[in-house]
Amino acid sequence: MADVLRVCALYPDLMNIYADRGNMLMLQQRCAWRGLGFELTAAGLGDPVDPDGADLFYLGGGQDRDQLLCAEDLVATKREALHAAADRGAIVLGICGGIQLLGHEYALGDRAVPGVGLVDLRTVREEGPRLIGNVAIEVELPGLEGPRVLAGFENHGGRTKLGPETRPLGRVLKGFGNDGRSGYEGVRRGTVLGTYLHGPLLPKNAWFADWLLATALGRDLRELAPLDDALEDAAHASARRAAGI
């Protein structure tokens, strides 16, 4: 059982829409408050990734243009390492543009941009309005006693469809989710997770930050020391209210 959380942020400069890097600060702070170590490394364009070098690999959201740059690089220089990391139980978390790149492809006009294929999903940039607004989803995860709510904000042009055997991260309570039709939001295959929720996601959902932290460290969630979460609970309640639940 490790007591240092090692995080590798993929393309932190290019894939950081809505300050998605705030999610890293949240993990860092929750480790610090508990006396756990935290190490943050970054892998940008052209940088190789050591599959054993982190417990959590993080890919934030991005504009289509930046996302295309990263997609090519991700497949060329990081795909195998991310598969090896996921195979040994490391967390791979993709937010918005990030979830799109975890799948098989992102079809954009006449281009089909390949993803790393860690999960069976495809995303298409259809005609029609962007899917924008506050969103809340109901999530069940191993180690949790019952369903929990994730609340956040979504803004995506891409519509994501899961393969027939693929599980979503959650069920949409309010908002659009993966495609505005299926009632599904995000994806989860073991420790590979993707979601459209920005916010940033973790400051609005401290319970999920702790689930990620515990899972990445191979600990039981109940082993984590409780924290005074008055402000975090207020942020969560406010995000839920914004979504209308």
Residue 88 C-beta: closest distance to ligand GLN, Å: 27
Q: Which stretch binds ligand GLN (CB under 6 A): 37-45, 46-54, 152-160, 187-195?
A: 152-160
Q: Compute the Cα dihedral for 24, 28, 34, 38 and give only its sign.
A: positive
200 binding ligand GLN? (CB under 6 A): no
Check: CB of residue 133 under 8 Å from CB of residue 239: no
- Pick the binder of ligand GLN from 22, 157, 183, 190 (CB under 6 A): 157
* 96: annotated active-site residue: yes
| Cα distance between residue 25 and residue 99, in whole Å | 20
Residue 20 C-beta: closest distance to ligand GLN, Å: 8
Q: Compute the Cα dihedral for 195, 199, 200, 201 and give only its sign.
A: negative
Which is nearest to 148 in space by CA: 218, 198, 196, 206? 206
Residue nearest to ligand GLN as judged by C-beta position: 61
Q: Roughly what angle, to the nearest 10 degrees, separates helices 206-217 and 230-243?
A: 120
- Pick the binder of ligand GLN from 23, 40, 49, 62 (CB under 6 A): 62
* 8: annotated active-site residue: no
- Pick the binder of ligand GLN from 51, 94, 158, 199 (CB under 6 A): 158
Burial class of residue 139, CB neighbours in 10 A (0-12, 13-18, 19+): buried
Number of residues that bind ligand GLN (CB under 6 A): 12
The residue (of 5 and 169) whose beta carbon lies closer to ligand GLN is 169
The residue (of 5 and 197) whose beta carbon lies closer to ligand GLN is 197
Residues with Cβ within 8 Å of residue 113, at least 6 apart in sequence = 67, 68, 71, 72, 105, 106, 107
Catalytic residue among 70, 96, 156, 236: 96
| Cα distance between residue 218 and residue 214, in whole Å | 6
Would you give the DSSP letter of residue 48? Answer: -
Residue 17 C-beta: closest distance to ligand GLN, Å: 5
Q: Which stretch binds ligand GLN (CB under 6 A): 29-37, 56-64, 68-76, 199-207?
A: 56-64
Site for ligand GLN in 75-104 (CB under 6 A): 96-97
122 binding ligand GLN? (CB under 6 A): no
Residue 169 C-beta: closest distance to ligand GLN, Å: 16
CB atoms inside a 10 Å sphere around CB 155? 16
155 binding ligand GLN? (CB under 6 A): yes
What token pair was written down for 198?
């920005």
Q: Which residues are catalytic?
A: 96, 198
Q: State the residues that interact with ligand GLN by CB under 6 A.
A: 17, 61-64, 67, 96-97, 155-158
